[in-house]
Amino acid sequence: MDLDDLDAVLIGAGHNSLACALMLAAKGWRVGVFERADVPGGAVKSGEYTLPGFRHDWAAMNLSLFAGSQFHKQFVEELAGHGLSFVPVNRPFASAFPDGTWLGVDQDAGITRARIAALSEADARTWDALTAGFGDRAEDVFALLGSRMKIHALAYFLWGLWRRRGVSGALDLARFLLASPRAWLTETFETEKLRAMLGAWGMHLDYAPDSAGGALFPYLEGMAGQAFGMALGQGGADTVTKALVRAIEARGGRVECGTEVARIEHENGIARAVILADGRRVAANKAVIANLAPNALIRLTGGTGDAGFDARMESYAHAPGTMMIHLAMDSLPDWSAGEDLKGVAYVHLAPSLDQMARTYQQAKAGLLPDEPVIVVGQPTVFDPSRAPEGKHVLWMQVRMVPGRIEGDAAGQTSARDWTEAAEPMAERALDILERYAPGARAKILGRRIVTPAELEADNPNLVGGDQVCGSHHLAQHFLFRPAPGHADGSTPIRNLHLTGAAVWPGGGTGAGPGYQLAQRLT
């Protein structure tokens, strides 16, 4: 492909920019994608990070949002033809508790109900009601999440909601969307363990128990997990990335890795080209699309000429960081809560809302949490191809941790840099795993610690190890993501667009920002 004759130049090969590039290529645009890392995918990639034959997902593991996305539905046959394959999961998640019990969600609603009823019949009846009403509520929620965040689009959604549900129904949804996880969970359920099991999902998207606007995510994960299960990538999450790249190239597009964009060239308020670090100039006839953290957009443009917009990009707030621990295992952990936990994709070690709230506040204060939230992924239960026969991989997320360390809440280390804090923090996380699964350490064949600093070095969009590229709190969500008037990815520079998790509808693997941008451009 002639680099002097591109319609769209995309900066970064994350799944949002790849999805956008494929949609544009399908409309006849000549597209080129330039990625600074040696491999595409951003946070959605896989590799043998511990030992040969053990394939680990670098950051994202759960591909349910992608599998159910409008983008995937539109390109399902094409992507499958390029190798995209999912592994269905019928036991998506559970929480283990210090008293040797656990609670989880199963695609068999009767099994889920029985587990809840063993704790509280009242909560089981409430769960029944939520399950019965999920389809109706989901219609409204997914309509909102799929809406373009412009005033007229939001007004259209609200008008439709009022007509469908009436004033009381619309107000009920609005109240729910504004509620914190704790407010909704304590109002809805009486059992602390059920509240904790669902509340743990808020921590995946920067919603601590007391964060306003965070009730939606625990609700959706609980209901959708039971209704649809979970989707993993066959052989690794990078099945998505590989298929997208192949599809783009098959349509004549170009994906070039190991190529950093040094500058976005613009004049008279119009984006014209990008300048690569090796000195090449790549012109864009129609669009420059930047899959970047907002502050990087200002760095590459030198400023957009709109002082208010630039100030918002530079003050854009990021969530606390995440540390990843990849483990090659001789066998699965022997969970104290019982053998059944070996059959679950995600095991949360987050025993209470109070503990999650404390962890979040410690991380926000720059402290290494004394008891971080641990997410233990067991993908080889459902996809044995990721490890040698009889062996397993564990995917451990340590949530939340500070990107910049100011101290240690446990008072056990004086480390203020992640090169020094990596080992003690990893040992703290493994101590927690050992409490819930005695003997787990002895099963470890190899391990790889990935600190927030390394996550950011690998992918500058993950500022401070923030895997969702920015807080999703109300002041930076919906119409305000990443700034008022620009939730559609537009910028003050004509033909320059922002995409990725920093743009509505935000983080996750659903490719919504890339999908909506491509729709708008074509």
Residues 253, 165, single domain; the answer is no
Residues 78, 197, single domain; the answer is no
Please check whether residue 363 lies inside any domain of the structure. Answer: no
Please check whether residue 152 lies inside any domain of the structure. Answer: yes
Whether pTM > 0.75 for this model: the answer is yes
Please check whether residue 491 lies inside any domain of the structure. Answer: yes
Residues 101, 205, single domain; the answer is yes
Please check whether residue 359 lies inside any domain of the structure. Answer: no
Residues 452, 475, single domain; the answer is no
| DSSP states of 304-369 | -S-HHHHHHHHTPPPPPEEEEEEEEESS----TT-GGGGG-SEEEE---HHHHHHHHHHHHTTEEP
Residues 487, 443, single domain; the answer is no
Judge whether 458 and 475 are in contact, CB under 8 Å.
Answer: no
Residues 140, 268, single domain; the answer is no
Please check whether residue 450 lies inside any domain of the structure. Answer: yes
Phi-psi sector, 434: left (phi>0), alpha (psi -120 to 50), beta: alpha
Please check whether residue 49 lies inside any domain of the structure. Answer: no
Residue that finishes a domain, picked among 191, 212, 231:
231
Residues 434, 501, single domain; the answer is no
**Rounded alpha-carbon distances, angstroms, from residue 217 to 69, 175, 230, 247:** 16, 14, 15, 32
Chain centroid offset of residue 205 CA: 7
Residue that finishes a domain, picked among 430, 458, 486:
458
H or E stretch covering 2? none
Nearest to 177 by CA among 208, 152, 141: 141
C-alpha to C-alpha distance for 397 and 377, rounded to whole angstroms = 8
Token pair 């995918």 in the structure block, residue: 41
Residues 115, 225, single domain; the answer is yes
Tens-digit pLDDT string for the chain (522 aa):
557 789 999 999 999 999 999 999 999 999 999 999 999 999 999 999 999 999 999 999 999 999 999 999 999 999 999 999 999 999 999 999 999 999 999 999 999 999 999 999 999 999 999 999 998 877 777 767 777 766 556 655 665 666 677 767 677 777 888 899 999 999 999 999 999 999 999 999 899 999 999 998 999 999 999 999 999 999 999 999 999 999 999 999 999 999 999 999 999 999 999 999 999 999 999 999 999 999 999 999 999 999 999 999 999 999 999 999 999 999 999 999 999 999 999 999 999 999 999 999 999 999 999 999 999 999 999 999 999 999 999 999 999 999 999 999 999 999 999 999 999 999 999 999 999 999 999 999 999 999 999 999 999 999 999 999 999 998 998 889 999 999 999 999 999 999 999 999 999 999 999 999 999 999
> Domain limits at 411?
318-349+372-458
Please check whether residue 53 lies inside any domain of the structure. Answer: no
Query: Cα torsion for 416, 422, 428, 432, to the nearest 10°?
Result: 140
Number of structural domains the chain divides into? 3
Residue that finishes a domain, picked among 434, 458, 482:
458
DSSP3 helix / strand / coil % (the chain, rounded to 5): 45, 20, 35
Residues 326, 218, single domain; the answer is no
Judge whether 92 and 209 are in contact, CB under 8 Å.
Answer: no
Q: What is the CATH number of the domain that holds 264?
A: 3.50.50.60
**Rounded alpha-carbon distances, angstroms, from residue 433 to 11, 325, 397, 468:** 39, 12, 12, 25
Residues 100, 213, single domain; the answer is yes
Please check whether residue 212 lies inside any domain of the structure. Answer: yes
> In this structure, what DSSP letter does residue 12 have?
-
Residues 322, 451, single domain; the answer is yes
C-alpha to C-alpha distance for 50 and 60, rounded to whole angstroms = 17
Residues 309, 411, single domain; the answer is no
